[in-house]
Amino acid sequence: MAEPCTVRDLAARIGQTVTIRGWLTHYRSSGRIRFLVLRDGTGVVQTVVKAEAAELAGVESWEQIGQESSLIVTGQVHRDARAPVGVEVEVRAVQVLAATHEYPITPKEHGVDFLMDHRHLWIRSPRQAAILRLRSIIVQAIRGFLDSHGFVVADPPIITPTPAEGSTTLFAIDYFGEPAYLSQSGQLYMEALALALGRVYSFGPTFRAEKSKTRRHLTEFWMIEPEMAFCEFEENLVWQEQLVEHIAQQVLLRALGELNALQRPLAPLENIRTPFPRITYDEALVRLAQLGMPIAWGEDLGAPHETALANQFDCPVFVTHFPTHLKAFYMQPEPTRPEVVRAADLLAPEGYGEIIGGSQRIHDLSLLESRMAEHGLDASSYAWYLDLRRYGTVPHSGFGLGLERLVAWFGGLDHVRETTPFARTLNRVWP
C-alpha cells in the first residue's frame, strides 16, 4: 500500500500513487465510471473509479458502499483545476473497512432539530467541519496573542462556592452536602491570579442557566478572561481591540478555506482595524432616540438596540460607562460620576451583539464592601475576595471574551449552536 496522504496534502503529490483514508460523502456513476467523493477531515476530494481497472476489497460489489462507509483508497493523483483541492484521484484499489447503509443525514435538506439530534454525525458535514476548524484556528490565535504578550494562562476552578455574575443564572450542585455552583465566570479568581502573576488569562468553560432562547445564548460556553494588574479602564480597551484585530488577521491568513466553505464575505473581517470607535451609554441613548428606538436612562440595551447601534459602524464598537445599577457589584464607578461604571461592552457588527464584557474592578476595600451590601451579597462568602483588597491592592482590569459568539460572528453564522461541537441550550442537553 502506498504511503497515506491527507486530502489537504494531495496537491503536493501530483503524479504519485497515494493512499487516502476517509469516508464516502457521496457517490455517483456515469456509464462505466464511478465517482466516489471522499472526506478525511482535512478536505474533500473526488476519486474516479473505472470499475474493471480497480480492485475492491471488503465487500462484494460497489453497490454495497453507501454514504459514510469508511474506506482506504489507493490511486494516482492528477491535477484538476476545477476541483476544490485542485486534484482528482484515479482509483486503483478500494478497501472497505465498514460498509454503511442508510446513513441518517442525506444530501437532502433536514430541519435543525433533526440535525441537532444527530449532532454526533452532523459534525461530519463539510460545513460543520469547517466551523469547527475555524473555531480551532481562532483558539490558536487567541492563545498566540496572549502568550506572546506575557500573559500567563492560569485557569480558575469550575466548581465554586462564590457566584460571580448574579444569582439568576446559577447551576447549583451538591458538593458533598455543601452548596456550590458551576462557574459563571472565573473573574474573581483571575483577579487573585493577576495580583500573583501580573497578567493572566483563563480559557475554559463557563455555565449559565440562561432561560433565554436566542441565537446568542448557550448554557455552557467558553470564555477567555484576561486580567491585568496595574491596568486601568482605557488600557483594558486597548488590550481588547488589539486581541480582536489580531484574531481577525490570523483568521484572514489561516482560515480562508473555511471562510470560503461558509461563504463568509471577507470585507467585514478586513474592516476590523484598531482603534475601535468608543461611545458612552449616554451617547448610545441619543443615537437610539435618533433611530426611533428611544430608551430611558437607566434601562439596559436589548439585542435590537445593540444591533441598531452596531449597524452604525463597520467595525466593532465599544459602549462604555453603563449605569452602575445595571452592572455587576465589582465594577469601578467613575469617581466624578459614580452613577456610571468604568465598564465597556464590545459590540460586533452585522447583528452579532456583545462579544466582550469588561471593566476596571473596584480596588478600594470599603467601596467594594458598600457595593456588595447594596447588592445584598454576604461578605463572609466573599472573604477571600475581599482579602485581595486588604493585602497590596492595585488598580486592575479585565474582560471576558465569549468564544462561541466570536466564532459565530467570524464565520457569519446564524446561531451559536453551530459554533461548538455539542451545544447545550435551554432545551437541549443531548447528545
Residues forming the site for ligand 4AD (CB under 6 A): 164-165, 185, 187, 208, 210, 217-218, 221, 223, 225, 354-359, 398-400, 402, 404-405, 416
Per DSSP, the residues of 228-259 read EET--HHHHHHHHHHHHHHHHHHHHHH-HHHH
Q: Which of residues 38 and 223 has its CB atom nearest to ligand 4AD in the complex?
A: 223
What is the rounded CA–CA span in Å between residue 199 and residue 76?
A: 53
CB of 337 to ligand 4AD, least distance (A): 21
User: Which of ligand 4AD, Mg ion, none binds 356 (CB below 5-8 Å, type-dependent)?
Assistant: ligand 4AD
| Cβ contact 110:38 at 8 Å | no
Give the phi and the psi of residue 333 in degrees, each rounded to 5.
-65, 150
Smallest CA-to-CA distance from 347 within 392, 387, 296, 288 is with: 288
Which strand (E) or helix (H) includes residue 367?
helix 365-374
User: Which of ligand 4AD, Mg ion, none binds 220 (CB below 5-8 Å, type-dependent)?
Assistant: none
What is the rounded CA–CA span in Å between residue 426 and residue 431?
A: 14
- The x, y and z cell numbers of residue 235, run together, are 488600557
Residues 6+ apart with CB under 8 A from 179: 161, 172
Q: Which of residues 40 and 345 has its CB atom nearest to Mg ion in the complex?
A: 345
User: Which of Mg ion, ligand 4AD, none binds 42 (CB below 5-8 Å, type-dependent)?
Assistant: none
Judged by CB under 5 A, the number of residues near Mg ion is: 1
Q: Which of residues 68 and 165 has its CB atom nearest to Mg ion in the complex?
A: 165
Note the helical H segments in 255-280: 256-261, 267-270
CB of 27 to ligand 4AD, least distance (A): 39
Question: Could you tell me which stretch among 177-185, 351-359, 373-381, 413-421 binds Mg ion (CB under 5 A)?
Answer: 351-359
Q: Does 316 bind Mg ion (CB under 5 A)?
A: no
CB of 185 to ligand 4AD, least distance (A): 3
Q: Does 357 bind Mg ion (CB under 5 A)?
A: yes
User: Which of ligand 4AD, Mg ion, none binds 245 (CB below 5-8 Å, type-dependent)?
Assistant: none
Peptide bond into 395 cis (omega under 30): no
- The x, y and z cell numbers of residue 3, run together, are 504511503
CB of 203 to ligand 4AD, least distance (A): 12
What is the rounded CA–CA span in Å between residue 160 and residue 173?
A: 10
CB of 83 to ligand 4AD, least distance (A): 37
Q: Which of residues 21 and 415 has its CB atom nearest to ligand 4AD in the complex?
A: 415
Q: Does 186 bind Mg ion (CB under 5 A)?
A: no
| Cβ contact 14:79 at 8 Å | yes
Question: Could you tell me which stretch among 35-43, 133-141, 314-322, 349-357 binds Mg ion (CB under 5 A)?
Answer: 349-357
User: Which of Mg ion, ligand 4AD, none binds 223 (CB below 5-8 Å, type-dependent)?
Assistant: ligand 4AD
Amino acid at 342: R
User: Which of ligand 4AD, Mg ion, none binds 404 (CB below 5-8 Å, type-dependent)?
Assistant: ligand 4AD
Q: Where are the beta strands (DSSP E) in 237-390?
A: 278-280, 317-320, 333-334, 337-341, 343-348, 353-360
| Cβ contact 257:250 at 8 Å | no
Smallest CA-to-CA distance from 134 within 251, 217, 220, 39 is with: 251
What is the rounded CA–CA span in Å between residue 381 and residue 164?
A: 11
CB of 347 to Mg ion, least distance (A): 11
User: Which of ligand 4AD, Mg ion, none binds 65 (CB below 5-8 Å, type-dependent)?
Assistant: none
User: Which of Mg ion, ligand 4AD, none binds 217 (CB below 5-8 Å, type-dependent)?
Assistant: ligand 4AD
Q: Which of residues 413 and 416 has its CB atom nearest to ligand 4AD in the complex?
A: 416
CB of 168 to Mg ion, least distance (A): 14
Please work out, in degrees rounded to the nearest 5, the angle formed at the alpha carbon of residue 144 by the alpha carbons of 143 and 150: 90
SS3 assignment, position 349? coil
Q: Which of residues 40 and 210 has its CB atom nearest to ligand 4AD in the complex?
A: 210
CA–chain centroid gap for 394, Å, is: 32
CB of 97 to ligand 4AD, least distance (A): 38
User: Which of Mg ion, ligand 4AD, none binds 163 (CB below 5-8 Å, type-dependent)?
Assistant: none
List interacting residues with Mg ion (CB under 5 A).
357
